[in-house]
Amino acid sequence: MVIRSQKTFSLTGYMTTAVILVHLFLAPVLYSVILNLYKESSSDIFITHANNIAGIIAHDLTDTDHDRRKARIISVLDSAVLSGDIIFIDIIDSNNQLINPQDKLLISSNLFTEDSDINQHDDNIYFMSVPIHLVSKDHLAFTLRLGFDESSFIQQVSSIKQRIIIILLIYIFAMVSVFTLITYYIHKPLKLLQQKSKTIAQGDVNFPLQVPTYISDIKDLSDDLEKMRTKLIEMAQHMQLQATHDELTGLPNRYLYTDRMHQAVSLAQRTNQTFAVLLLDLDRFKEINDTLGHGLGDKVLQILSSRMQDGMRESDTIARIGGDEFSVILINVDQAKAESIAEKTIKLIEPIINAEGHSLTVSASIGIAVYPYHGVTPELLLQHADVAMYHAKNNNHNIATYKKSMDSNTYEKLMMVNYFKSSIAEDHFHSVFQPKVSLSTLQPSGCEMLLRWRHPYLGLIEPDTFIPLAEQENVIGELTRWAASQCLNKFLSILRDIPDFTVSINVSPVNLLDSKLFESLLEILNISEFPPSNLIIEITESVIMKNPERSATILNKFSAAGIKVSIDDFGTGYSSLAYLQKFPITELKIDKSFITDLTKDSTNYPIVKASIALAHDLGITVVAEGIESNAVHELLTELNCDSVQGYLYAKPMEFTQLETWLEQRELTALSD
């Protein structure tokens, strides 16, 4: 929908134009109506007066007594002439012959032109005639003709005209003034409202929208707008609260917390003060959630939040920044003070919590970082508080303050170490599979299982990073068992189609020396009904070289159980094949560092060539890994290598992808 902006005018503009237009029309009408009324009434008076005088004169002329008639006519004429009213008089007979009834008659130079109305014929004289009967002259009919001076009447009319104009002008002026005043009183509060609304629209909502006015409609409007403003503020505050606070505990959330951290840093910079960041993580909170339910978990979080809040000063910020993670910003506090506050906080958390019929205790670990010693940015401070917190947790302390020795490398390690077990339980680990292809048939001969870790905080981690740590932390056994138990049974259907298909799993040196692994692998094979002869364990040559006797004992157990043994990363340990011959080895896996860039001219070429030949002599099959090009593929075919594995054929993939990949291979093989 297109909204066209409509042309608008101001209220004052409308009102003034309206008043002026109305009066442009009204003024001439009023003017002519008043003037006509005046003219009519005054001409009536004038004519009646003239008629009266004419009547008297006519009557006097008919007096029978000659002397008396003369005297009266003289007196009437005198007074009429004196007053200047009559400026023409004569008498004519029926033949229109002038007779002079009296010497004293006044004759105007104007010619008699009878008027039917006043101010006719532009001669300034009102001429009228009256029939008379002069007694002395044989009752003949005569006409008395009179002329009255109109100039005073005309003067009066023109002065009246001026007065009407003045009165009209005053009236129009008054009208315009009144309207302007009214408009002003309407417009002023409206204008004010408009200005205030504009400031609100610009985001400044702190000015009340009410305006002083005597006009009730505007007052109602302004009251309503004010209500709307307060409602808006309330809504904005509510939304702000929702956006910046954690719904469950009502504490500031991570968003607000980050903001406060920045404020704390700039305040500390300005005032040269220190401040501390505490990072608190509840111990084994997950267990509470898992065993007693999330409802109770929430209740516990609420109770603990309010306990912690009670122990804080107004100026401190306590925020919930994760599921069971809280952080406190302690303004103007040094390390010693921060540590004592942390201890106090632990004491606040420890007492028994009674909730929903359960009594339980919760402990926590707190890491402390102090500005500026342990970081000058919010990110670094929080990260270091986190490092310290993990340090505390791992060493069974409640509190630890960050030290340089817990560096960022350690931080990632700690993050990994702390999440191994939960990641196994929560399926953050998963296996991918990379096919092996037989060079003689070009058909898949098996696959290698490779682990991946989707760390909840560090993201995807490659095995080269976490396997050494898992070994160090002694969780590699658990990890391998978990991986095998997760995937082996899935392969049963593949084995029905390709009976020789092998699954290789990497077994770390630590694994190998752990006698439990063998037992548990057997158990897993048993449960999953996966045939031992289709399983290959890959072990690096270095482990055998380090502890040959122990290795031999264990490898023999595997071999006796029907499980095949492959020497992984062959070539990197410089061990001689002849020596390895003592161990029950069925496969040799030449390390990718020898293979990927292999050419006939490379120094590795004779090693690869000799290794393949010797292995074959010893009845060991050879797998080359890391094939990325056709040239290397050709070379290895020429060298009689048994199987190949590499990006040229397939990258490690999810199990379902592997299934489709195998199906497609089978189809192309059938069509060949």
| Helix, strand, coil shares, percent, the chain, to 5 | 55, 20, 30
Kind plus residue range of the DSSP H or E element containing 576: none
Residue 548 CB, shortest distance to ligand C2E, in Å, is: 20
Residue 647 binding partner per list Ca ion, ligand C2E, none, with a CB distance cut-off of 5 to 8 Å that depends on partner kind: ligand C2E
**Whole-angstrom Cα distance, residue 367 to residue 398?**
8
| Joined tokens for residue 136 | 């002395």
* Residue of 196, 299, 592, 665 interacting with ligand C2E (CB under 6 A): 592
DSSP letter string, 339-400: HHHHHHHHHHHSS-EEETTEEE---EEEEEEEETTT-SSHHHHHHHHHHHHHHHHHTT-SEE
Q: Which is nearer to ligand C2E, 23 or 452 (CB)?
A: 452
Span interacting with ligand C2E, options 16-24, 331-339, 398-406, 642-650, rule CB under 6 A: 642-650
Q: Which is nearer to Ca ion, 506 or 611 (CB)?
A: 506
* Residue of 274, 480, 534, 621 interacting with ligand C2E (CB under 6 A): 480
Q: How many residues bind ligand C2E (CB under 6 A)?
A: 25
Kind plus residue range of the DSSP H or E element containing 536: strand 535-540
Kind plus residue range of the DSSP H or E element containing 161: helix 151-201
Beta strands in 68-205 (DSSP E): 86-93, 98-99, 125-133, 141-149
**Whole-angstrom Cα distance, residue 352 to residue 349?**
8
Q: Return the closest-CA partner of residue 193 out of 361, 385, 57, 11.
A: 11
Q: Which is nearer to Ca ion, 299 or 436 (CB)?
A: 436
316 in contact with Ca ion (CB under 5 A): no
Span interacting with ligand C2E, options 32-40, 217-225, 401-409, 461-469, rule CB under 6 A: 461-469
Helix then strand count (H, E) for the chain reads 22, 20
DSSP state of 85: -
506 in contact with ligand C2E (CB under 6 A): yes
**Whole-angstrom Cα distance, residue 405 to residue 392?**
14
246 in contact with Ca ion (CB under 5 A): no
* Residue of 506, 511, 604, 645 interacting with Ca ion (CB under 5 A): 506
Residue 644 CB, shortest distance to Ca ion, in Å, is: 13
Q: Return the closest-CA partner of residue 180 out of 35, 15, 49.
A: 15
Residue 589 CB, shortest distance to ligand C2E, in Å, is: 8
* Residue of 646, 658, 662, 665 interacting with ligand C2E (CB under 6 A): 646
Q: Amino acid identity of 99? A: I
150 in contact with Ca ion (CB under 5 A): no
367 in contact with ligand C2E (CB under 6 A): no
Q: How many residues bind Ca ion (CB under 5 A)?
A: 5
**Whole-angstrom Cα distance, residue 536 to residue 502?**
7
541 in contact with Ca ion (CB under 5 A): no
Residue 305 binding partner per list Ca ion, ligand C2E, none, with a CB distance cut-off of 5 to 8 Å that depends on partner kind: none
* Residue of 246, 386, 541, 568 interacting with Ca ion (CB under 5 A): 568
Residue 386 binding partner per list Ca ion, ligand C2E, none, with a CB distance cut-off of 5 to 8 Å that depends on partner kind: none
538 in contact with Ca ion (CB under 5 A): yes
Neighbours of 268 (CB within 10 A): 17
Side-chain-side CA neighbours of 401 within 13 Å: the count stands at 16
* Residue of 462, 500, 519, 654 interacting with ligand C2E (CB under 6 A): 462
Check whether the bond before 372 is cis (ω within 30° of 0).
yes
Residue 665 CB, shortest distance to Ca ion, in Å, is: 21
Span interacting with ligand C2E, options 25-33, 88-96, 579-587, 646-654, rule CB under 6 A: 646-654
548 in contact with ligand C2E (CB under 6 A): no
Q: Provide the H-helix boundaries in 202-276.
A: 216-244, 254-271
Residue 31 binding partner per list ligand C2E, Ca ion, none, with a CB distance cut-off of 5 to 8 Å that depends on partner kind: none
Span interacting with ligand C2E, options 158-166, 210-218, 290-298, 456-464, rule CB under 6 A: 456-464
480 in contact with Ca ion (CB under 5 A): no
130 in contact with ligand C2E (CB under 6 A): no
Residue 569 CB, shortest distance to Ca ion, in Å, is: 4
DSSP state of 111: P
* Residue of 652, 658, 662, 665 interacting with ligand C2E (CB under 6 A): 652
Q: Which long-range contacts (CB under 8 A, 24 or more apart) does 47-50 make?
A: 47/118, 47/126, 49/85, 50/85, 50/126, 50/128, 50/146, 50/148
Q: Which residues bind ligand C2E (CB under 6 A)?
A: 434, 450-451, 462-464, 467, 480, 483, 506-508, 538, 568-569, 592, 596, 625-628, 645-647, 652
